Amino acid sequence: MLVRDELEDSREPYRSRDLRLITRIGLKDSSFDQEIFLRLLEAYRREPLISRLPEGDHGHLAMFAASDLEALVTCNLKDLANQLILEAVRKVNHAQGIAKEIRTGPPEAFLPPGR
């Protein structure tokens, strides 16, 4: 899982905290359409607002849009939960024939009730 791999490479105390959070959330591995993923990556690179994001963020956005995932869990509230950026992503996605709604938030927002 891309997220788990990235967290494994992060610094403490964030690594332990975030790995516990994704375990509590129950994040699952997901398959995604490679062709759509690559098409979106290219489209994101051409969109001025999205292109300013780190390349890894393009990958997360494209993987989410090309998968069956229901939400994008992120600690990057400055960029990946920024409404202006998300609106640009929606426009690119719609132009590529993807009408999937983008739900984003920090890990804590997706914890099951009572956990």
Model pLDDT for residues 31-77, shown as the tens digit of each residue: 899 999 999 999 999 999 999 999 989 999 999 999 998 888 887 77
Across the chain, what does the average pLDDT equal?
88
pLDDT value, residue 87: 96
Q: H or E segment at 72? A: strand 72-73
Quote the percentage of the chain above a pLDDT of 90. 48
**Stated pTM of the model:** 0.82
- Per-residue confidence band for 1, with pLDDT thresholds at 50, 70 and 90: low
3-state helix, strand, coil in the chain (%, to 5): 55, 5, 40
In the chain, where the domains are located: 32-110
